[in-house]
Amino acid sequence: MKSDETRWLTDSEQELWRTIREFLWQFPSAMDRQLLRDAQMQSGEYSVLAVLSETPEPSLRPADVAQGLRWDRSRLSHLLRRMEAKGLISRCSDETDRRGHQIALTELGQQTIQSAAPTHVTFVRETLFDSLDPAERKALESALPKILDSLEKQGLRGSSC
């Protein structure tokens, strides 16, 4: 697209974009601070523990966890090593594919997610849901999937494996 074809943002769009940009910077940092303060963990660790705790399976392949979180495998691989060192997860050989492995919550990992979940859910509820009325929540329910779909169509959404 040539610069003379650029569809510049209107003043109101520019203001909304600035608000969205600030939210994108502030909310993840606030969530990390909340989890660090209340559970001594990072949001990535919480996300992995949540996926593992919510599955009916006793263990998952790392690729399945990565797909559930829409993370690339290398990002997950480094995090899993740190989580294993902390005793939050265990890794064992995958009985169906000897080249791979499975990950599972340890007892400490299960205790950690059970302990962290109440304060984290309270943070999410108070920060996101309680600050919006039902119509605003409905608008987000409608808008956010459309934005994610646009990213997918442009080939810019996070990987699924």
Domains of the chain: 31-119 (1.10.10.10)
Q: Identify the pLDDT of residue 1.
A: 54
Close Cβ partners of 52 (under 8 Å, ≥ 6 residues apart): 59, 60, 65, 89, 103, 104, 105, 109, 113
Name the nearest CA neighbour of 52 among 97, 93, 108: 108
In the chain, helix, strand, coil percent, each to 5? 70, 10, 20
Q: Identify the pLDDT of residue 161.
A: 42
Q: Which residues of the chain have pLDDT under 70?
A: 1-3, 97-99, 159-161
Q: Identify the pLDDT of residue 97.
A: 67
The continuous run of DSSP H or E covering 74 comes out as: helix 73-86
Q: Identify the pLDDT of residue 2.
A: 60
